[in-house]
Structure 1
Amino acid sequence: MTPTTETAAPYGTPDAPRLAVRGEAHLEVDPEIARIGITVAARGKDRREALADLTRRNTLALDLVKTHGDAVEHLETGHFSITPELGRHGRGERVRTYHGHVHITAELNDFTALGDLTTALADLDLTRVDGPWWDLRPDSPTHRAARQQAVREAVQRAREYAEALGTTLTALLELADIGAEPTPLPAPGGARFRRAAFGAAPADDEPAPLDLEPQRQHIHAQVNARFTMAPPQL
């Protein structure tokens, strides 16, 4: 059975051989932003008292973050809860104490300010700081650079194959984007801080700011490309 034009075309023809290659790019760059998670807690035997303490500590944490001005690109409050804890002994639903939590996420672009902020937050009462998680912005030019480099690498590879056959490329048939995003990194990356105490540190005994080393970001991009070549002389 003679192959039809439709079945033969995907594999090329003697007059227009097809060449399929993959282009890849791997970039390693400094991060642009860092995120930290802040969990503020409060507890008390009275529900309103626990809520009032939680509100006060939440406001204190937010105000502290906001003092860093333009270094903070994004600030949002996530999960909030006030949970009663029942007594372990006795009958009935007798509440022993109330636990309150508020989770805050802050995104910073100044890593010197990040060290100052994480240290100050970790020194607050019943406040936990997690992170930092390093990242690039979604619209970072690094993503575009990786994609463009992958395309150039595909074209160069195709030309090298054609040159090995003593011919040249004639047309691009298809260019398929496989993906261009940061490779998954272990989470959480970086330091983790925790402080849970009832006594505030004296003002003249503040801890020195943490020296945080940004985690390099690995960007990977891939494309599939298909070309036609001039018939080689084999």
Structure 2
Amino acid sequence: MTTPHSTPHPTPEAPHVAVRGEARLDVDPEIARIAITVSARGTDRAATLTDLTRRNAHTLDLVKSYGEAVEKLETGAFSITPEPSKHGRGERIRAYQGRVHLTVELSDFTTLGELTTRLADSDLTRVDGPWWALRPDSPAYAEARHTAVTEAVQRARAYATALGTTLTALLELSDTDLPAPPALMGGTMRMAFAAETTDAPPPLDLEPQRQTVTAEVMARFTMAPPQL
């Protein structure tokens, strides 16, 4: 790839043609991510921590029970927050609020609905998501770039043909400055249950949201002198 500084200037003997190549692909997602918030609340700090530890362990065991369908399980922020009393003087605490935030990444979408439903049916557990995405090394990105380059060549060749001549050399090929696509795309589902139920609810039917992959390049070619 030549740089703009090393690109020779066009001349009548070697005219240039500059084109843009674009690609836009809609592809199936490869991963889904959900966020889990496990909570506990009580008037005693130690008891609140115990409840939070128990619920967090239950959540981790539940997620891990799905085996290879879970590609990533990460613990984020943990907090235990005292809630001061609204009445009276001094530093009186009326309750303690504890939270643990977890992130789960799955590649098997057949288990996603069942897992999210079971998590949301747990005591004081909130579920957000899913967010659909492609892996950073997804072949879809390479396919989009290939399509964009192919379009640039075809467009430049069409201009040359219209002038009754042909392309002779590639001078420059570069990515254009496009805004980065969102890391994760898709709808958001939020569920929070305060208590466990006796009968497990039916799994949610979650349809993966297709992802849009874009690529754009600028290409500059030399042409044989046309006979005008």
SS at match of 2:168: strand
* Equivalent position of 1:221 in the other structure: 215
Q: Check 1:128–1:188 CA distance in 2 against 1; reply closer, same or farther (3 A cut).
A: farther
Paired residues, number: 223
Under a length normalisation based on structure 2, what TM-score does the superposition of the two structures give? 0.93
Which amino acid letter does the alignment assign opposite residue 103 of structure 2? T
Matched, 1:209 2:203: yes
Deviations along 1:22-47, whole A, 9 cap, x unmatched?
00111101100000000000011111
- For the 8 Å contact 1:34–1:111, the answer to whether it is kept is yes
**In 2: Cα distance, 1:61 partner to 1:191 partner:** 20
**1:50-89 alignment runs, 5 A limit:** 50-89=48-87
**1:30-49 alignment runs, 5 A limit:** 30-49=28-47
Under a length normalisation based on structure 1, what TM-score does the superposition of the two structures give? 0.90
**In 1: Cα distance, 2:49 partner to 2:8 partner:** 68
Deviations along 1:160-208, whole A, 9 cap, x unmatched?
00000000001100000126887449x87334132231x4211xx1100
Which amino acid letter does the alignment assign opposite residue 226 of structure 1? R
**In 2: Cα distance, 1:218 partner to 1:181 partner:** 13
Gap regions ≥5 residues in structure 1: 1-6
Q: Check 1:188–1:222 CA distance in 2 against 1; reply closer, same or farther (3 A cut).
A: closer
SS at match of 1:206: coil
Matched, 1:195 2:192: yes
**In 2: Cα distance, 1:64 partner to 1:153 partner:** 48
CA RMSD of aligned residues (A): 1.9
* Equivalent position of 2:93 in the other structure: 95
Structure with greater helix share of residues: 1
Deviations along 1:68-94, whole A, 9 cap, x unmatched?
000000110011100000001111111
Q: Check 1:30–1:183 CA distance in 2 against 1; reply closer, same or farther (3 A cut).
A: same
* Equivalent position of 2:107 in the other structure: 109
**In 1: Cα distance, 2:9 partner to 2:22 partner:** 23
**In 1: Cα distance, 2:106 partner to 2:177 partner:** 27
Taking every aligned residue pair, what percent have the same amino acid on both sides?
A: 66
Q: Check 1:188–1:209 CA distance in 2 against 1; reply closer, same or farther (3 A cut).
A: same
- For the 8 Å contact 1:174–1:225, the answer to whether it is kept is yes
* Equivalent position of 1:139 in the other structure: 137
Matched, 1:176 2:174: yes
SS at match of 2:26: strand
- For the 8 Å contact 2:28–2:209, the answer to whether it is kept is yes
